[in-house]
Structure 1
Amino acid sequence: MTRKTLRHASGRLALAAGLLGALSLVVYAGVDLLPGDPATARLGPSSTPDQVNQARERLGLDEPLAQRYWEWVTGLLCGDLGSSANGTPVADLLSGRLGNTALLTGITVALLVPASLALGVSLGRRAGGRFDGAGSAALLLTVAVPEFVIASGLALVVAGRLGWLPAASLVPAGEHPLSHPEVLVLPVLSLLLVSLAYASRMIRAQTIHALRAPHIEFMRLNGMPERAILRQAVLPAVLPSAVQIWLITAAGLMGGTVLVEIVFNYPGIGGILVSSVRSGDLPVVQALAMFMGALTLLATVAADLIAAATGRTRST
């Protein structure tokens, strides 16, 4: 790794640290400005002003916003996510659910990588043909459909009408979703369809660009087989961009699973995020918002570093 590359990476990491600080401020202030009062939401409309004031004091809501933010962000730096409104540590509340959501994301990405690469490259190699036209139209249509609509359609047809799989991803208390793999199929398929459409379109575009390079034409004029050209020239040109796409997609899936989890009643972060917003449980909402925002930011920075490293490698 050259000195110039190290300077670039150091600059990006410093920028990422600054953006994480700005993100924490935006997340904390934005969640704090959500409509409704957490204390009133917790106690109900029949609560008296004295009860509300006591609850606000217990939750620390009577302190100035700047002081609350400072206490929260210093806790984050020490690994303390705070406590929910019912006194349960937020880290304990989220650990299992984050693991379940990460499982959905991991399975989806594991299927996405080979499928999107194969489909994207196949469409790119046949650009302008019937297969490419039909495939690109189908991908564009899929990208335009929200994930929860696809999830609802799969639940209605595959689970409701055909009865092949359960419509609800219910997991008995104390058991892991992998113990009941059938509950993972429809949520993973819902996430995979949308992410596959997006990633395949991007990889198709990169494949078309790679095939137009002068050295590809030179290889063909020298009689090199198409498979060898694909393996030696096209895939090495496409893979760096594909890795960027997969990184950003994986980070987006961690937040994008929320609606899909709600549709299938999957025990991930979706249900607890919605219930926390409704009940005004700010520490939980702030922790989840910060986690999803930071994950997306770090994935973007990692993708940028990959682009810079591969770009410099090709130019040397």
Structure 2
Amino acid sequence: MAGTLTTLHPGGASVPAPPRAPARILRGASRAARLAARRLAMLVVLLAAVFAAVDFLPGDAADATADRGASASELAARRAAMGLDRPLATRFWDWMTNLPTGDLGTTARGEHVTDVLAGPFPNTLLLGLLALVLAIGGALLLGSWATLRPGGRTDRTIDALATTAFALPEFVVSVALLLVLSQWTGWLPAVTLTGPDGAPESWTMLVLPLLALAIPQIGWNTRIVRGALADQAALPHVRAAVLDGLPRRRILTHHMLPGALPTVAAGIATSAGMLLGGAVVVETLFNYPGIGAVLAGAITDRDTPLVAGVVAAAGAAISLLLLLADLVRTASLGERR
């Protein structure tokens, strides 16, 4: 057929040549666009659910933030000023149409949502990223260590510790860390004090909340890494490398870890959501200046724009990591084909 390239095998049979680079790039871009659209649609649905959930709570922002003893007419005027007299769908649409411009709306107390989140969200993002890096590094180290000694005492011990760590909620880990590293030993401060810029005064104040967030995720990802590497160990090319007498560490780094990357990436992306969710609890326990306190106050005030702003910021970060994990997985599957 005209326009179709072929290559000739030694036996004389002709087969289609590999697709040209531009075609592969276009297909990759198309897959990335579809994945991005799917993640964006999920975020929109999540934000709609947040608007509905806050609206279903007893009371409203006008009542929660009004002065004590406000009259019915004053409350009605506040509701009208806040737009609470309009249908929920209309308020959500107006908020969503302003979102692409970076306008997250105005809080029930008359502040811009972006101004309220400008200080706490970077603090939460820093804590979450550090915890994610620690979780990734710890999981790769422990999962690889267990893989090098399959079925042995080290493998069983790491598996038991990882299962226990993941089973413990963040607040239980936080309390244990507070008792051991702060109350009993005095090594680390129990609460976080903020400086003039709104950030923690000292890096030591990051250690306890960082460990409280990272330990359960180290357990979760260690099990994922160990399982993914076990699947890779059963593949023919890995068995061939073992029979060829290659060193175990080289087999791990050159033959097993690359194939396990898509599964590990998916686990890491899932951990990002768990970390930001757990940050709300951990930040409250350690008085960390993040979005945990902002979100708790916003729910108390029935402040829909502020709650949605927190969810939008956190959801965008999580969606980006999930999208990267999707791209890694599709790229890996494409190479195997």
Which interval holds the TM-score relative to the shorter structure? over 0.9
Query: Structure 2 residue aligned with 1:158, among 181, 184, 197?
Result: 181
Query: Structure 2 residue aligned with 1:30, among 53, 70, 73?
Result: 53
The answer on whether the counterparts of 1:255 and 1:292 sit within 8 Å (CA) in structure 2 is no
Instruction: Please identify, of 2-11 and 70-79, the stretch whose mean Cα deviation from structure 2 is larger.
Output: 2-11
The answer on whether the counterparts of 2:269 and 2:321 sit within 8 Å (CA) in structure 1 is yes
Listed as ranges, the matches of 1:74-93 within 5 Å are 74-93=97-116
Counterpart-to-counterpart distance in 2, 1:185 and 1:15:
36
The answer on whether the counterparts of 1:154 and 1:190 sit within 8 Å (CA) in structure 2 is yes
Query: Structure 2 residue aligned with 1:240, among 258, 262, 270?
Result: 262
Give every structure 1 segment of 4 or more consecutive aligned residues whose post-TM-superposition deviation is greater than 4 Å.
none
- Tell me which structure has the larger Cα radius of gyration: 2
Distance 1:203 1:69, change over 3 A: same
Query: Structure 1 residue aligned with 2:313, among 285, 288, 291?
Result: 291
Aligned to 1:309: 331
Aligned to 1:170: 193
The answer on whether the counterparts of 1:109 and 1:250 sit within 8 Å (CA) in structure 2 is yes
Query: Structure 1 residue aligned with 2:159, among 118, 136, 148?
Result: 136
The answer on whether the counterparts of 2:189 and 2:204 sit within 8 Å (CA) in structure 1 is yes
CA RMSD of aligned residues (A): 1.9
Query: Structure 1 residue aligned with 2:295, among 268, 273, 278?
Result: 273
Instruction: After TM superposition, give the deviation of residue 44 of structure 1 in Å.
Output: 5.5
**What is the TM-score when the length of structure 2 is the normalising length?**
0.87
Query: Structure 1 residue aligned with 2:220, among 198, 212, 217?
Result: 198
Counterpart-to-counterpart distance in 2, 1:197 and 1:71:
42
SS at match of 1:117: helix
Aligned to 1:259: 281
Counterpart-to-counterpart distance in 1, 2:163 and 2:274:
19
Asked if residue 62 in structure 1 is aligned to residue 89 in structure 2, the reply is: no
SS at match of 1:283: helix
Asked if residue 21 in structure 1 is aligned to residue 44 in structure 2, the reply is: yes
Cα deviation digits, residues 140-170 of structure 1 (max 9, x gap): 1111111111112211221112211111112
Counterpart-to-counterpart distance in 2, 1:211 and 1:118:
17
Cα deviation digits, residues 157-211 of structure 1 (max 9, x gap): 211122111111121333532x411110100011110111111110000111111
Instruction: After TM superposition, give the deviation of residue 240 of structure 1 in Å.
Output: 3.2
Counterpart-to-counterpart distance in 2, 1:189 and 1:16:
29
Normalized per residue, the structure richer in helix is: 1
Asked if residue 181 in structure 1 is aligned to residue 203 in structure 2, the reply is: yes
The answer on whether the counterparts of 1:251 and 1:299 sit within 8 Å (CA) in structure 2 is no
The answer on whether the counterparts of 2:165 and 2:215 sit within 8 Å (CA) in structure 1 is yes
Aligned to 2:170: 147
Aligned to 2:143: 120
Query: Structure 1 residue aligned with 2:238, among 212, 216, 220?
Result: 216
Q: Which runs of 5+ in 2 are unaligned?
A: 1-20
The answer on whether the counterparts of 2:54 and 2:299 sit within 8 Å (CA) in structure 1 is no
The answer on whether the counterparts of 2:144 and 2:252 sit within 8 Å (CA) in structure 1 is no
Instruction: After TM superposition, give the deviation of residue 213 of structure 1 in Å.
Output: 1.1
The answer on whether the counterparts of 2:54 and 2:302 sit within 8 Å (CA) in structure 1 is no
Q: Which amino acid aligns with 1:106?
A: L
The answer on whether the counterparts of 2:298 and 2:307 sit within 8 Å (CA) in structure 1 is yes
Counterpart-to-counterpart distance in 1, 2:155 and 2:59:
51
The answer on whether the counterparts of 1:248 and 1:300 sit within 8 Å (CA) in structure 2 is yes
Percent identity between the two aligned chains: 35
The answer on whether the counterparts of 1:262 and 1:270 sit within 8 Å (CA) in structure 2 is yes
Instruction: After TM superposition, give the deviation of residue 45 of structure 1 in Å.
Output: 5.7
Distance 1:169 1:141, change over 3 A: same
Counterpart-to-counterpart distance in 1, 2:53 and 2:198:
35
Counterpart-to-counterpart distance in 2, 1:197 and 1:44:
48
